[in-house]
Amino acid sequence: MELLYISPLLLCCLLDHGVFGESVSGMEGDPVTLHTGVETNQQEKIRWYFKDSRIAQISGDLGLICTDVQCKDGDERFRNRLKLDHQTGSLTITNTRTTDSGLYQLKVISSSGFSEKIFNVTIYGVSAAERNETKAAKEGESVTLHPGKIKKTNDCMMWYFKDILIAEITGDPSKTCTDDQSKERYRDRLQLDHQTGSLTITNTRTTDSGDYTLQIISSRFSISRRFIVSITTVPAPGLSSAAAGGICATIVVVLLVAAVVFGIYRWHRSRQSGKYYS
């Protein structure tokens, strides 16, 4: 049983008035998942549409699963970038582009009827440098990771190191926390800027090197940023290679001079001994 066509203009009006629809946002290149909120069974059909074109489908027996170009109406827009969850029917768009922004329709069809859900997806453009910003410092120095977006009071900002939550800012300043409240890795070495959400790591160590991820969540969108931090070891204090080379050369010269002097001394002794016995 098919759902009657609903014009994009009507969908926009309904979304603006909050009748139905869910807003999902992300940064270009990040994956975006549209959740159905249901568990599939063998009697259901799940169909996904983007701008009136069917881009993904799961049949009841899981024997017919298609994405984008495999579907009848596919136009290769999402080639190799769509993933379907066979348990829930949720759709994930990988390696997102700004052209993926728009209205997505979900239709769940079963013997008892159908249901529909609308997703308003917005993908924000971002350069490769902004997506994977690299920070380098020497051991003991400080490193600051900037969100690149002015923090709003209702934003939730979460900082992760290798998928471990190390710092968080919510709309309520009293709920701001850093890793030292629960773990020992960064004890007394993390500083959060409550105005911008920037994270500063002080007295850095080589073990602080790795991937850091910032997730910003507001009522209208979700943005993720990745930072690659590299902390190098500071050489132990000592002589430089040039100074060490100079010292070695001096020692060699001294040894050569001593050998020559000793040779001359032996030669003179031998001459004197010869004269004495003659």
Higher pLDDT, 113 or 228: 228
The three-state (H, E, C) secondary structure of the chain, written as one string: CCCCCCCHHHHHHHHHCCCCCEEEEEECCCCEEECCCCCCCCCCEEEEEECCEEEEEECCCCCCEEEHHHCCCCCCCCCCCEEECCCCCCEEECCCCHHHCEEEEEEEEECCEEEEEEEEEEEECCCHHHHEEEEEEECCCCEEECCCCCCCCCCEEEEEECCEEEEEECCCHHHCEEHHHCCCCCCCCEEECCCCCCEEECCCCHHHCEEEEEEEECCCCEEEEEEEEEEECCCCCCCCHHHHHHHHHHHHHHHHHHHHHHHHHHHHHHHHHHHHHC
**So what's the pLDDT on residue 182?**
61
- Convert the pLDDT of each residue in 37-56 to its tens digit: 776 665 678 899 998 888 99
Q: What is the pTM of this model?
A: 0.53
Percent pLDDT > 70 in the chain is 73
Which of the pair, 15 or 118, is modelled with greater confidence?
Answer: 118
The pLDDT, as a whole number, for residue 4 is: 38
